[in-house]
């Protein structure tokens, strides 16, 4: 049985079909929440924002299938909401202080080496400059194409490819050398 395209589910949702929202929610729950969680870092804020975004999907009629696929629109809504939340958060604490706090060595509970790796990945991701972190998250978690990210960011597709390459290299350097954001 073929999967119903997102655009058909949105049309069904607008037509009052009660299961359409549930199907969209299940389809994007993991990817979208992961993206938001990595952008914001704080689970309580990520939980709230995730719910707000899906309420927007339920109520808002700004998505137009004639302008493109649903997934890039949904991740654009999430990106904008995350950026707004980050701007608000910056007034309370600087981004550098948060990144440095995440780079400080933490005691891993128990001998599980994978937990240590997860902490290192999280710290390296937090140490990346915001534009680089966004690109990696949109590509990896959002599973968006270069073209979709270019449209979302308002730049050429080739620019996205080169910026994503630079972001990936910076991320690898932070992981392997234990570098800091200042070195980027």
For residue 44, the domain's CATH number is 1.10.1740.10
Mean pLDDT of all residues in 2-21: 88
Residues 79/152, Cβ–Cβ less than 8 Å: yes
In the chain, the number of structural domains is 2
83: closest CA among 122, 12, 118, 133?
133
Task: Check pLDDT > 60 for residue 91.
Answer: no
For residue 154, the domain's CATH number is 1.10.10.10
Span of 85-94, 115-124, 151-160 with lowest mean pLDDT: 85-94
Query: What is the spatial distance between Cα 13 and Cα 59, in angstroms, rounded to a whole number?
Result: 10
Tokens for 32, please give them: 């979208």
Structural domain ending residue among the three candidates 61, 92, 123: 92
Between vectors from CA 138 to CA 70 and to CA 52, what angle results, nearest 5°? 60
Structural domain ending residue among the three candidates 92, 120, 142: 92
For residues 140 and 174, membership in a common domain is answered with yes
pLDDT tier, 23 (very low <50, low <70, confident <90, very high otherwise):
very high
pLDDT at 180: 46
The range of the structural domain enclosing residue 173 comes to 94-184
Task: Check pLDDT > 70 for residue 108.
Answer: no
pLDDT at 45: 83
pTM of the model: 0.62
Give the model confidence (pLDDT) of 129-158 as tens digits: 988 988 988 888 888 899 989 998 899 999
pLDDT at 140: 85
Mean pLDDT of all residues in 85-95: 65
For residues 101 and 176, membership in a common domain is answered with yes
pLDDT at 183: 43
Instruction: Say which residue the tokens 């234990």 belong to.
Output: 178
For residues 121 and 64, membership in a common domain is answered with no
For residues 51 and 100, membership in a common domain is answered with no
pLDDT at 182: 42
pLDDT at 101: 60
Query: What is the spatial distance between Cα 154 and Cα 148, in angstroms, rounded to a whole number?
Result: 10
Instruction: Say which residue the tokens 């001998």 belong to.
Output: 111
Mean pLDDT across the chain: 81
């Amino acid at each position: 049985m073929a999967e119903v395209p997102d655009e058909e589910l949105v049309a069904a949702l607008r037509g009052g079909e009660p299961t359409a929202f549930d199907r969209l929610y299940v389809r994007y729950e993991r990817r979208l929440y992961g993206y938001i969680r990595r952008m914001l870092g704080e689970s309580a804020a990520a939980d709230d924002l995730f719910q707000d975004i899906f309420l927007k999907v339920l109520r808002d009629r700004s998505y137009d299938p004639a302008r493109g696929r649903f997934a890039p629109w949904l991740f654009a809504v999430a990106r904008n909401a995350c950026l707004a939340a980050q701007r608000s958060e910056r007034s309370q604490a600087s981004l550098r202080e948060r990144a440095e706090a995440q780079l400080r060595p933490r005691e891993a509970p128990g001998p599980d080496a994978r937990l240590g790796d997860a902490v290192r990945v999280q710290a390296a991701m937090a140490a990346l400059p915001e534009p680089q972190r966004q690109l990696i998250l949109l590509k990896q978690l959002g599973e968006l194409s270069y073209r979709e990210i270019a449209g979302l960011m308002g730049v050429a597709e080739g620019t996205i490819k080169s910026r994503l390459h630079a972001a990936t290299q910076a991320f690898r350097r932070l992981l392997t050398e234990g570098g800091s954001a200042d070195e980027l």
